[in-house]
Amino acid sequence: MITKQEFGVLETTGQRIDNYTLKNRNGMTVTISEFGGAVVSIRVPDKFGRFSDVAAGYDSLRDYVLADGYLGALVGRTANRIANGKFTLDGKEYSLYCNNGKNSLHGGKVGYSYRVWNVRPVDGDEPKLILTLHSPDGEEGYPGNLDVTVTYTLLSNNALSIHYEAVTDKRTPVGLTNHTYFNLGGYASGLIHDHVLQINADTYLPTDETQIPTGEFRPVDGTVFDFREPKRIGQDIDADDPDLKLAGGYDHCFCFAGGATKAPERRIMVYEPNTGRAMTVYTDQPAVQFYSGNYMDCPEFPQKGGFPRAKQTAFCLETQSLPDSVNHPEFGNVILNPGETYTHTVIYQFSVMQ
């Protein structure tokens, strides 16, 4: 089932923005906005059958327009950071808007997270929303017209599938992701430190002081970045580790064992012991940016119901290509050619453990 509700009106253009709520036969709901393609809410049951919203977000459209943090949003044309806001492609240097110190982050000044997406609902037992966006040649400094399609599907097994496709008329870097902040205890339940996390990653990417990867693939073995066996997020989050200190916690790219796959594979599991909620993440991407919400403090933009945005009260698991790949050939190719189709699938499946 799909229902549509008016979310607000953009002050700059007067355009009405709607939210769409998808509901499956188990009662799970996901609410997605036309603005930024943002996941506004995910309501799933706990071990007692009680439903709570496990996605951080805002009550008002105005907050999504003005606040930072990319809560729930689709980000692109390239997710994560690009060093110095520059890259060279086919002998030409391109300059991007630097919105993260001297680097470009999540698409620049007005990335896809601040665009209004076209939405086509498709109702049924597994309801879906098909979102489309045209990104013109030169937008935010990127070459080529890019046409993007993102399909959100609420599956009958309490999973949210996100499938991305993009085509271009000129060679251009592409790397899309979703920036939902999760707290399986409920978005207003406090710190995420007791969540138990497992990531099937044998290396991670150390960064410089601006959080740009150095180019090293560092083994997680023997480090605070080893989540190959389940452990509490808070177990090592305050450890005396230079990479952790640079980011104020976890904000690092974890590289999956075996790299990218043809079809989504199980790569991540998170468990919250008080509610019994668990989330398993399947993807075909080579990596995930695990962000522990180190800079969520933002008192002027409280979350839904007035709950304050506070440090490490939610986390992100952004499946993606490796950050700054356009400047690191050793990270793999992220250039999309005319005639090709960029694809990326991630599935967040929710369950309960007694």
At 15-34, the pLDDT tens digits run 999 999 999 999 999 999 99
Tokens at residue 188, please? 């207003």
Cα-Cα-Cα-Cα torsion 1, 183, 219, 347, nearest 10 degrees, comes to 0
**Tokens 């050939």 found at:** 329
Model confidence band, residue 102 (pLDDT cutoffs 50, 70, 90): very high
Q: How far apart are CA 157 and CA 145, in angstroms?
A: 37
Instruction: Check if the beta carbon of residue 223 is closer than 8 Å to that of residue 205.
Output: no
Q: How far apart are CA 78 and CA 64, in angstroms?
A: 20
Q: How far apart are CA 129 and CA 37, in angstroms?
A: 10
Instruction: Give the residue numbers spanning the domain of 69.
Output: 2-352
Query: What pLDDT is stored for residue 59 in this prediction?
Result: 96
Query: What pLDDT is stored for residue 106 in this prediction?
Result: 95
Which residues have a Cβ under 8 Å from the Cβ of 93 and sit 6 or more positions away? 86, 87
Concatenate the DSSP letters of all residues of 70-94 into one string. Answer: -TT-EE-SB-SEEGGGEEEETTEEE
Domains of the chain: total: 1
Q: Could you say which DSSP state residue 66 is in?
A: H
Query: What pLDDT is stored for residue 7 in this prediction?
Result: 98
Strand partners, 68: none
Alpha helices, DSSP H, located in the chain:
61-66, 242-247
- Measured CA to CA in angstroms, residue 244 lies from 84, 251, 291 at distances of 22, 8, 11
Query: What pLDDT is stored for residue 354 in this prediction?
Result: 78
Q: How many helical (H) and strand (E) elements, i.e. helices and strands, does the chain have?
A: 2, 28
Model confidence band, residue 298 (pLDDT cutoffs 50, 70, 90): confident
Q: How far apart are CA 34 and CA 304, in angstroms?
A: 18
Strand partners, 62: none
Give percent of the chain above pLDDT 70.
100
Strand partners, 277: 352
- Measured CA to CA in angstroms, residue 333 lies from 87, 141, 216, 286 at distances of 13, 19, 17, 11
Judge whether residue 69 has pLDDT over 90: no
Model confidence band, residue 279 (pLDDT cutoffs 50, 70, 90): very high
Average pLDDT over residues 304-321: 96
Tokens at residue 208, please? 């410089």
Q: Beta strand pairing status for 231-232 and 218-219?
A: unpaired
Give percent of the chain above pLDDT 90.
98
Q: Mean pLDDT of all residues in the chain? A: 97
Which residues have a Cβ under 8 Å from the Cβ of 272 and sit 6 or more positions away? 183, 184, 185, 194, 195, 196, 278
Average pLDDT over residues 243-255: 96
Which of the residues are catalytic? Answer: 179, 318
User: Looking only at Cα atoms, what is the longest distance across the chain?
Assistant: 59
Judge whether residue 114 has pLDDT over 90: yes
Query: What pLDDT is stored for residue 76 in this prediction?
Result: 97
43: domain CATH number? 2.70.98.10
Tokens at residue 335, please? 């250039």
- The amino acid that residue 251 corresponds to is D
- The amino acid that residue 223 corresponds to is T
Tens of pLDDT along 160-218? 999 999 999 999 999 999 999 999 999 999 999 999 999 999 999 999 999 999 999 99
- The amino acid that residue 207 corresponds to is T
Tokens at residue 345, please? 């699938």
